[in-house]
Amino acid sequence: MNNSSHNDLTAHLHQGLSRIPSDWQLCLLDGKKVPQGIGWQQKPLTPVQMKEAVTNGWIVDKADGTQYRCYPKGYGLITGTPVTINSETFYLMALDQDGASAREKILQLSGGEELPKTVAFTSGRPGRCQYLFLIPEQYAPSLRTKKFLTDVTGDDGKSEQLELRWTGLQSCLPPSIHPTTGEYIWVSGCAPDEIPIALAPIWLIEAMLVENEITNGSSTPHTHYQEPKWTDIDWALSYLAALSPSRVDDYNQWCNVGMILKSIDNSLFYEWDKWSRLSSKYQPGECEKKWKTFNKNGVGIGTLAHWAKQDGWTSPFKNKNVINNGKNYQTNSSNSNGNGNHHFLYDQVTTIVTSNLNPPQQTAAIIELSSDNSYPLKGVKDLAVEIETYINQTDSKTENVLELKRLLNYRREQLNISQILPTPLASALLSKANSDCIDPVYLYQYLLAACGSEMGGHIGIIGKEGATLTDSWIEYPIFWTMVVALPSAGKSQTMRSVFSPIKKRYKQAKTEYQKVQQQLENLKEQWEEKSQQQKEKLQDSPENPRIFKATMPAPPPKKIIEAGSPEGAIRRMSELTPRTGCTWVFDELVRLLKLDQYKDKGGDTRQILLQTWNAPADIEFERSKEENAFHLKDICLNLTGATQLSKVKQLFSDPDDGDGLISRFLVALPTTPSNFAVWSDLKVAIDQELQELYDHLRLLHKRLSQTQEDEEQELSPLFLSFTKEAQQRWKRWWEEVRRNQQTVEFENPAFFAYLGKMLSQTLRLALLLHCMELKYEQKNDPFQVGIDTLEKAILAAKFSIGQFRILQTNNHATDEMPGRLSLIHAYALRKGTEVSAVQVQNSVFKRAKPKPTLAEIRQDFAILTENGYTVLSGKGKDLRIRAIPVDQARVGNPKSSEPYSDTSQNFRTQTSRGTQPPVTRISDYSDNSWTTPTTNGNLQNNSNNSTNGRNCPNYDDAVPSKVDFEPISNENTASEICPNDVGNSENILSSNVPTSETPARGNGGNYDDVNERSQNQAEERHLNLEQLQTLLACYSSAKALAQASPEMPTESIVSLFAPLDNLLRSWGIEPIGKVSEQVPYNPQLHQPDTDDLIEGESVFIKFVGYRDGSRILCPAQVSRTRNC
């Protein structure tokens, strides 16, 4: 296939993948409908992963144990796999109509009932079509694939049939290549983005049901051998593995093997079915049917043993060695289980699983291991599956480590309101926060909703200009804010402080209005007492109640709603004048979910609320009686409140946020300040400042309009726009958010929605901040929002994004490894002392379902330490960690506070080639003295790029003072000089795996040659330290010169770096990239000069980095532009 054809197919498949749901499980196809890779049923791909496979290929396993990169020409849906629809789990099955006669079989099974309308696709051959249906979860375990042959022979010479496809099978999806017709296509109007998948009819489920005859019968130990731990089941599996495949094709022997296995235990049906698949005659469903006819009084296990011996079976107990790729692993060595090594079985099975043996050879090795040590064969095979699954998890390790770093940084971030709000306002808020010893984010969250209420819909901001005002993207100051915190943490008192000026003004206005009402009542009484002559004389005077009432002010608007039914609250809002703002305040936000609980048939309050966030609400509420109808006239509804950590899961009941409720909230999780328990005599000075601010915002529209009209009279809205500079920044922010949305579209739909709403939130924040600033400073053009204000809005938006991810993590504590690790780190950091696995399980995961086991938590301890975020102490069950603050952590440097800790041995990480040896710890730092290494002031570069973004000096910026006494690439200091995201952690994936040429550390043996070579290298490096100091100084100067002279020729820059480069190369340290070289961006190798680069994007090397093997000593600095 030429490049053009390949590109066309890639684009075509990408387009098809965009039409299918994100949770469908797919397999790779080769263009001939054949799935690629051994064990493809257990290794499904998501649509996102399939796109990657179509573009760049996908590594799959071959039967002989090797791997190759597959470039699929299509993809299939793995049937019998789960999908989630409206928070319920269903399973997908495919009805395959293979020929026109199969349609008659459908009508026969259904009793003449047509198939319901559902997702369907076809190869284009006449009479061929597949239909997808949903199977409810409760039926899934009881179904099997069924085939119904017809008497008609198709155009391909094969019998036409109806197949009800279930687990272990796949159905080719459009637009995959079809070997005959060219490609699969969706039936018109029946693609998954056009029609929902229908629920399977009852008759279809009944046709797939099988009797559940599997019992929990036990097997007695086999008495003919001297190994009492082997049961009949174990012996039967051993015999079955030795049988010649030719016996499967003999019908009588096939039946006899089935009868023998059933006579031993019903659970062996699955082994018989798997063995039966060796025959080309295998028909799915036939084994189940035949199995039911067998009784337990048939042929015995002796017959099976006789056939196995004829086919070459020998007793496993005759051979005491487990063969592994030509090497013998003695079971009677010092590592044997008999000598008390409880890791023996784990190590031996790991060796087999990670060897180059093909699957049959691995099975034979496992059988021999089981027999040699009297382990139940089934248990050993189960362990092998678990180990292989664990090893495969390392594929996502790098991505998990990066996500962990992001989450920890999110948890470290705090909102600095002094950087966002005008100084007088920030000072007022901080007086309250500091006096009460609470996080100021409480005040900030409530303030947004209060200010939005005061502004209403009189002023908007244009995010994108259209041909007309209606076509333009306009946002108004509507804010929904959520505070998630423990009870008695400061929610109520801060809420009172923020809303007190508004309530006070309303009470005063209401008192004045009541006085006027009383005057009216008095006038009415006096009017009734007047004579007709007096009434006629005073008809047009204020003493006439009718005239007085006409001149009365309107009732004060109710701008804060705190209690009442949804109907009552909305009716009160309908009394407000057009474009007025109001705030619905919830003391507990979970009430949002219960607004319609007392309505017989539910209600639509939640849907109405969702509408009100988008824009000023213009909604008419119809009632059977016209006088009961009411109308919201462009009302800006702000919403704020708090919820407790224990109740937030109710709000997050749908992890995908299906209706977008959670995505509309600006979320904050206040932290407990360090002075929480310290009394403060600071006086609070917030009320007057807020009162003046609210008055300013409420009257701002009138002032900007330069009118003298009455305050309550309806005015035309005003619209702000960005300055030219701010507009360019807004466009870049929009693109950055959209790119981030793309990366989480399928993996995290809720976060995808939140990021999308964050663009609107940014505009609203910029609008509010600009209007606030107009109170405190003069602006050349009050209708233009500048770049400084926009940057503040973006800073606030980024804070909310991080808070949302933390909330997701807290709510789904055990769903993802990075989230689980970040919770453990946060807990340990807050405790400030060493914490144990038991403490973590009973505190962090107290309400998690299911709870992680203590062993899993200890594994998490090891990963955190491995990546430089904690320090380990103790051993085994007494293992503990002490958290290191993120800004002090050396990412990539493992640490232990115990000189002789065997932790790394206990938590050896598996790789695709074997067992990862323990990583050397950094002994210079312990949990009692954690400091950052000092830098040589003479070499320190003060440029903006003087660090690599991870609080560590770059090679080209500084040299640790420690370089005076230790070699630069010493095992314990290489990463210490510049710890980063990768560092030693990359070793877990690939490096330092023992080979025949490179002995593993810590495993003993004769390493004299290696040690001598290492000593020589160290001495050579010591002798060159003085030269290194000089060269690093030149390198730093060269970097500064290049930064000051962007037009400097590349050759000149390279020549300045050449001496250092040559020296490091002589030590085996290699550069990362060349100056001005264009490369794809790799976050593990490169340090960007902007935070919005996407992995794989073309960038230019700004300054080279260096690596020692797989250890990244210093990342290369990169930029989008060449002249950098």
Check pLDDT > 70 for residue 970.
Answer: no
Are 634 and 624 in a shared domain? yes
Which pLDDT score, from 0 to 100, does residue 439 have? 92
Q: Which has the minimum average pLDDT: 587-591, 653-657, 928-932, 1118-1122?
A: 928-932
The DSSP line for 1082-1111 is: -TTTEEESSTT--TT-EEEEEE-EEEETTE
> 741 with 833, same domain?
no
Convert the pLDDT of each residue in 429-465 to its tens digit: 999 999 999 999 999 999 999 999 999 999 999 999 9
In a domain, 52, yes or no: yes
Token reading at 765? 């924040």
- Cα(502)–Cα(572) distance, rounded to whole angstroms? 17
State how far the alpha carbon of 762 is from the alpha carbons of 801, 808, 811, in Å: 11, 21, 25
Tell me which of 420 and 307 has the higher pLDDT.
Answer: 420
Confidence check: pLDDT of 1091 > 60? yes
Amino acid at 501: P
Distance (Å, rounded) from C-alpha 261 to C-alpha 644?
Answer: 57
Peptide bond into 360 cis (omega under 30): no
Shared domain check, 244 and 97: no
Domain range for 1052? 1024-1119
For the cut 90, the answer to whether the pLDDT of residue 19 exceeds it is yes
Q: What is the pLDDT of residue 221?
A: 37
Q: Across all residues in the chain, what is the average pLDDT? A: 76
Report the pLDDT value the prediction gives residue 253, as an integer from 0 to 100. 87
CATH number at residue 863: 1.10.10.10
Mean pLDDT of 945-962: 33
- Tokens standing for residue 1065: 């190369």
Q: Are residues 453 and 579 in the same domain?
A: yes
Cα distance between residue 182 and residue 940, in whole Å: 64
Point out the least confidently predicted range of 307-316, 527-536, 537-546, 596-605.
Answer: 596-605
* Residue 1095 near residue 740 (C-beta atoms within 8 A): no
* AA identity, residue 946: S
Q: Please check whether residue 514 lies inside any domain of the structure.
A: yes
Structure tokens given for 974: 């290489």
CA distances from 1121 to 163, 491, 1049, 1076, 1101 (A): 58, 48, 15, 9, 9
Q: Tell me whether residue 922 is in a domain.
A: no
Contact criterion met (CB below 8 Å) for 872 and 862: yes
Distance CA 83, CA 62 (A): 29
Residues forming beta bridges with residue 1108, ordered by sequence position: 1111
Neighbours of 150 (CB within 10 A): 19
pLDDT band at 707 (very low <50, low <70, confident <90, very high): very low
Domain boundary among 245, 278, 311: 311
Mean pLDDT of 727-736: 94
Same domain, 560 and 694: yes
The predicted pLDDT at position 158 comes to 79
CA pair distance 991, 979, nearest whole angstrom: 17
Q: Does 320 score more than 50 pLDDT?
A: no
Q: What is the mean pLDDT of residues 995-1014?
A: 40
Domain count, the chain: 5
Four-CA torsion 1114, 1120, 1123, 1124, nearest 10 degrees: -40
CATH number assigned to the domain comprising residue 432: 3.40.50
pLDDT greater than 80 at residue 959: no
Task: Pick the more confident residue, 841 or 280.
Answer: 841
Q: Point out the domain boundary residue: 888, 921, 941.
A: 888
The residues facing 323 across adjacent strands are 328
Residue 527 tokens, joined = 């009017």
> Which range (50-64, 339-353, 515-529, 743-757) has the least confidence?
339-353
User: Using an 8 Å Cβ cutoff, are 460 and 767 in contact?
Assistant: yes
Reduced to 3 states (helix: H, G, I; strand: E, B; else coil), residue 93 is strand
In this structure, are 249 and 170 located in the same domain? no
Q: Kindly state whether residue 1091 falls inside one of the protein's structural domains.
A: yes
Distances (CA, A) of 281 to 147, 278, 600: 13, 9, 59
CA-nearest of 1082, 1077, 1033, 1041 to 1059 is 1033
Say if 686 falls within a structural domain: yes
Residue 224, pLDDT above cutoff 60:
no
Q: For residue 973, name the pLDDT band (cuts at 50, 70, 90).
A: very low
Q: Please state, in angstroms and rounded to a whole number, the distance separating the CA atoms of residues 416 and 444.
A: 10
Task: pLDDT band for 563, please (50, 70, 90 cuts).
Answer: confident
Q: What local confidence, expressed as pLDDT, does residue 1116 receive? A: 84
pLDDT band at 401 (very low <50, low <70, confident <90, very high): confident
Percent of residues, the chain, with pLDDT higher than 70: 74
- Residue 775 confidence (pLDDT) above 50: yes
Least confident segment among 560-574, 579-593, 883-897, 1066-1080: 883-897
CB 768 within 8 A of CB 455: yes
Distance CA 89, CA 424 (A): 54
Q: Which residues of 750-774 are buried (b: 16+ CB within 10 A; e: fewer)?
A: bbbbbbebbbbbbbbbbbbbbbbbb
Q: What is the pLDDT of residue 1041?
A: 55
Domain edge (last residue) among 311, 337, 361: 311
935 found inside a domain:
no
Weakest mean pLDDT among 303-317, 703-717, 880-894, 1008-1022: 1008-1022
What is the reported pLDDT for 652? 62
The pTM score is: 0.50
- Give the Cα separation of 271 and 239 in Å (integer): 12
Question: What pLDDT shows up at residue 1050?
Answer: 53
C-alpha 531/C-alpha 270 separation (Å) is 105
The reply to whether 36 and 64 lie within a common domain is: yes
Place of tokens 């998890």: 393
Give strand pairing partners of 1098: 1080
Is 460 part of any domain?
yes
Contact 431, 424 (CB under 8 A): no
Q: Are residues 127 and 156 in the same domain?
A: yes
Q: Look at residue 242 and tell me if it is in a domain.
A: yes
Average pLDDT, stretch 290-299?
A: 74
679 has a pLDDT exceeding 50? yes
Least confident of 188-197, 473-482, 958-967, 1006-1015: 958-967
pLDDT in tens, 1096-1117: 888 888 888 877 766 777 788 8
In whole angstroms, give the CA distance from residue 57 to residue 68. Answer: 9
What is the Cα–Cα distance from 463 to 764, expressed in whole angstroms? 10
Higher pLDDT, 623 or 170: 170
What's residue 453's pLDDT? 93
Model confidence pLDDT, tens digit, residues 875-918: 777 889 999 888 776 554 444 443 333 333 333 333 333 333 33
Query: What is the percent of the chain with per-residue pLDDT over 90, rounded to a whole number?
Result: 26
For residues 837 and 795, membership in a common domain is answered with: no
Same domain, 241 and 193: no
Judge whether 94 and 132 are in contact, CB under 8 Å: yes
Structural contact between residues 441 and 415, judged by C-beta atoms closer than 8 angstroms: yes
Q: Which residue has the higher pLDDT, 710 or 757?
A: 757
In a shared domain, residues 112 and 158? yes
Same domain, 26 and 168: yes
